[in-house]
Chains A and B, each alone.
Chain A
Amino acid sequence: MNPSADYVPFVNWPVEVEWGLMKAGQVLAIMILLLLTLAFILLFDRKVWAAVQLRKGPNVVGPFGLLQSFADFFKFVLKEIVIPAGANKTVFILAPMISFVLAFVGWAVVPWAPDVVIANLNVGILYLFAISSLGVYGIIMGGWASNSKYPFLGGLRSAAQMVSYEVSIGFIIITVLLLVGSLNLTAIVDDQRAGMWMWHGFRLFDVSGWPGNILVGVVMLAMMGMFFISALAETNRPPFDLPEAESELVAGYQVEYSSTPYLLFMIGEYLNIVLMCAMLTILFLGGWHLPWGPVDSLGLNAFGTSALAMIVFYVKIWFVFFLFAMVKAIVPRYRYDQLMRLGWKIFLPTSLVAVAVIAYYVTFMAPPGAQHLAGG
């Protein structure tokens, strides 16, 4: 991508060089932010899990165990990398790297605040969807390359599971796209600027639109719930963690992995979970906008608005992650046939009907200003 036409350079360098350096800096900043977030969100996950079970959780390294993740990091990195003798070496090493890299590249299009985004693609949501559907390769390659039964079974399970739930995630995303009329993530967030009752998940509470929007409100609320559940399945998160079900497959596709490759897998997995939290926030929970109105309604200057927007977005991600953690603590694991039944027989037909309902609403019932698709 080349710098846009209205780009004003800071220093007297070739514009492409300066622009490239600036983008590299942004990428680095986002990566550091994500890795730090990951360190504390891992701890948070374990703390929530422990609290539900009336335990204390990690509390030895640092105050309240705050440095636990860093201790774990050094432990992983300093151990020996074991590659099984019968393994397909190249693919075995490649698999965790793919997981790790794919988990990061998805964040390139995630808007943190108005205009704070590395690449503001027109097809942003499709890009996110594509990247999250690629995540399966790390797992299936790792499972196959280990040349061992448990990892292979885990890899196969995960392939079938992720492909199944992608379908319903796709349809759920389409319902939001129909309401917004754009695939651009910033546009999707700004469509929800008015306040909590205009967030796509909570359209039901927009009292001024009653009774016309009750149907669409109910449907979108259901879609938010289904997206949440599908996101759990897509990221192999409990109660759908069948690829690594420890009671059946030891640790699934990760059995033969140790040390840094295992760490890469784990970072990839958690980063995908956080990415799903961000997607849910953007699609249904208003992104960076405040519950009572747009983030720029407070009269702050540009920098303040951006900072506040980032904080709001960040807090929402953590809230959704808290829900993920609670599900992990509370819900028992699904059986494999139940998982498939839920995905294909319940979620797929429901989301298809939802797409039809929302399309009908947008074409015939939406208030005149919102008929962006009908008239063209």
Chain B
Amino acid sequence: MLAAIAFYVLAAVAIVSAFAVIAARNPVHSVLFLILTFFSAAGLFVLLGAEFLAMLLVVVYVGAVAVLFLFVVMMLDVDFVELKQGFLQYLPAGFVVAGFLFAELSLVGAASMGANGAPIALAPNAPTEITNAEAIGRVLYTDYLLLFQMSGLVLLVAMIGAIVLTLRHRPGVKRQDIAAQVGRRRSESVELKDVRPGQGLG
């Protein structure tokens, strides 16, 4: 009973806030609603018994990715009214995308149902005595090792690409060299000048 209430509350919050992401006038509010959507999705994962995935969703998406979204959106100097003007123009394209997504989801949903409407187990049920994290680790580092490593490589390439694209060396920038600062000796930097009265350093 409790689980059912929790599910409906979380699902409702997720859907309403997902709608608010596109409906909100202010882009910062949109991102905040997006965060709420992520959070509700994490709650749904917990209800499914996938607490490890839920925590990863919170750590990675809510704790890092969305922070950077928020960071960028806050710094953008955009005219909110102008931003909303193309809304109706793009609406048909949005409906087409939404239609495709819905069709795909329905297909997956239908394919995972048996003849009597009960869900088919797509993967063999994990043994119950090991924890979530261990179960994921066991398949990730054995059966799917190649895919896992390849996706890691793809991410690495993407990261290096982003750095190469945005990195530019400007000449004439003074950089701090901590090793040189720490390695400096008194004899190299301080000099005693004996200034005679009335003569100056001339």
Contacts and interface: CB of A to CB of B under 8 A. Distances in A.
User: What band does the interface of chain B fall in when counting residues whose beta carbon is under 8 Å from A?
Assistant: 20 to 34
Nearest to B46: A1
A204 B60 CA distance: 33
A156 B71 contact: yes
Interface string A134-148: 101100110010000
Interface string A156-176: 100110110010001000000
A299 interface: no
A338 B175 CA distance: 11
Nearest to A16: B2
Interface residues of A, number: 33
A155 B74 CA distance: 10
A183 B58 CA distance: 16
Contacts of A121: 51
A371 interface: no
Interface string A253-289: 0000000000000000000000000000000000000
Nearest to B51: A123
Contacts of A129: 55, 59
A133 B59 contact: yes
A134 B1 CA distance: 30
Nearest to B62: A134
B68 A163 contact: yes
* Chain A CB within 10 A, most for which of B2, B51, B62: B51
B74 A152 contact: yes
B75 A163 contact: no
A127 interface: yes
A122 interface: yes
Given A121-B51, A376-B138, A126 B67 contact: no
B20 interface: no
Contacts of A376: 138
A83 B90 CA distance: 38
B70 A159 contact: yes
Contacts of B64: 133, 163, 166
Nearest to A181: B134
Nearest to B68: A163
Q: Specify the main secondary structure of chain A where it touches its partner.
A: helix
B67 A163 contact: yes
* Chain A CB within 10 A, most for which of B56, B67, B68: B67
Interface string A112-135: 000000000111001101100110
Interface in B127-182: 131-133, 138, 176, 178
A91 interface: yes
B108 to A, nearest CB: 27
A36 B32 CA distance: 33
Interface string B110-138: 00000000000000000000011100001
A123 B137 CA distance: 14
A80 interface: no
A187 B26 CA distance: 46
A123 B67 contact: no
B52 interface: yes
A64 to B, nearest CB: 40
A337 interface: yes
Interface of A: 2, 16, 88, 91, 121-123, 126-127, 129-130, 133-134, 136-137, 140-141, 144, 152, 155-156, 159-160, 162-163, 166, 170, 182-183, 337-338, 341, 376
Given A88-B28, A130-B55, A183-B52, 9 more contacts: A122-B51, A122-B132, A129-B59, A140-B70, A140-B71, A141-B32, A160-B71, A162-B67, A163-B67
Closest 5 CB pairs of A and B: A133-B63, A126-B55, A130-B58, A130-B59, A122-B131
23 contacts: A2-B2, A16-B1, A16-B2, A91-B32, A122-B133, A123-B131, A126-B56, A129-B55, A130-B58, A140-B67, A140-B70, A144-B74, A152-B74, A155-B74, A156-B74, A160-B71, A163-B68, A166-B64, A183-B52, A183-B131, A337-B176, A341-B178, A376-B138
